[in-house]
């Protein structure tokens, strides 16, 4: 498997490039509009053809480059099936693998950050690799105070779905804000301050409800834009419009 972890600094978002060495096809998990040209150049440098983009959920902190990548590469767009987005070509759901040549991505329904969130597990004979999106972060977890979030649901998703995986499973998150790159299920069980030391569901809900986090600065345009697979809405503030002009036509 070909693998690259890519970073977008403004939203601290990780985009993951996965490629099949035999077919030379690739998937981008959670691509960001701001780094579209970089991602296209990486694909070119590696000699890969983009098969699809794959968003773990409708993001509130950045615009996806899914639609623009489809315009530029003729790739397909994948989103959780339950959203039934008209702009999506592939509906992702647990139990239906996403095939990338010899690479198999297994969707895991992990609601809580949003009600449609999915993580993705690659299970190889050598290593299990988990792309957790915004559900489980390194020593943190995704917010649950907006956009159909629910702390109790996220608690169950993490404990029943993600923490049930083998301890040695590598965890690649959707974001990190402290220059960390990878964790493991064992490490998150032991070190994650929101989830370890036997924290009960009620304790977790109280902790998440008391975070008092600032209102997401891009949510008002990012959510509607991403529900259309990365269109820039008319209400994008001027300071964020840099990557928008070439995609404003849909």
Domain residues for the domain of 133 are: 2-211
242 domain residue, yes or no:
no
State the pTM of this model: 0.96
Contact 144, 112 (CB under 8 A): yes
pLDDT of residue 249: 44
232 domain residue, yes or no:
no
112 closest CA partner among 182, 183, 162:
162
Q: Which residues of 100-135 are buried (b: 16+ CB within 10 A; e: fewer)?
A: bbebebbbbbbbbbbebbbbbbbeeeeebbbbbbbb
187 domain residue, yes or no:
yes
Looking up residue 147, the CATH number of its domain turns out to be 3.60.15.10
Low-confidence ranges of the chain (pLDDT < 70): 246-250
Dihedral of CA 187/159/108/149: which sign? negative
239 domain residue, yes or no:
no
* Structural domain count of the chain: 1
pLDDT of residue 170: 98
Per the DSSP assignment, residues forming a β-bridge with 155 are: none
225 domain residue, yes or no:
no
């Amino acid at each position: 498997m070909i693998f690259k972890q890519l970073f977008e600094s403004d939203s601290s978002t990780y985009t993951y490039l996965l490629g099949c060495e035999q077919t030379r096809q690739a998937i981008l998990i959670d691509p960001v509009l701001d780094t579209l040209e970089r991602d296209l150049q990486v694909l070119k440098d590696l000699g890969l053809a983009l098969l699809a983009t794959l968003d773990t959920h409708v993001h509130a902190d950045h615009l996806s480059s899914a639609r623009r990548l489809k315009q530029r590469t003729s790739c397909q767009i994948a989103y959780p099936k339950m959203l039934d987005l008209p702009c999506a070509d592939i509906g992702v759901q647990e139990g239906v693998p996403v095939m990338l040549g010899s690479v198999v991505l297994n969707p895991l329904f992990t609601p809580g950050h949003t009600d449609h969130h999915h993580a993705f597990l690659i299970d190889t004979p050598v290593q299990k690799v988990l792309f957790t999106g915004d559900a489980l972060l390194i020593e943190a977890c995704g917010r649950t105070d907006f956009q159909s979030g629910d702390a109790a649901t996220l608690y169950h998703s993490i404990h029943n779905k993600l923490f049930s995986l083998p301890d040695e499973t590598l965890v690649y998150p959707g974001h990190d804000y402290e220059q960390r790159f990878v964790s493991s299920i064992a490490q998150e069980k032991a070190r994650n301050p929101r989830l370890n030391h036997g924290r009960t569901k009620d304790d977790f809900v109280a902790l998440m409800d008391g975070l008092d986090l600032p209102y997401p600065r891009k949510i008002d345009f990012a959510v509607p834009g991403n529900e259309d697979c990365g269109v820039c809405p008319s209400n994008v503030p001027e300071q964020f419009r840099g990557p928008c002009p070439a995609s404003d036509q849909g």
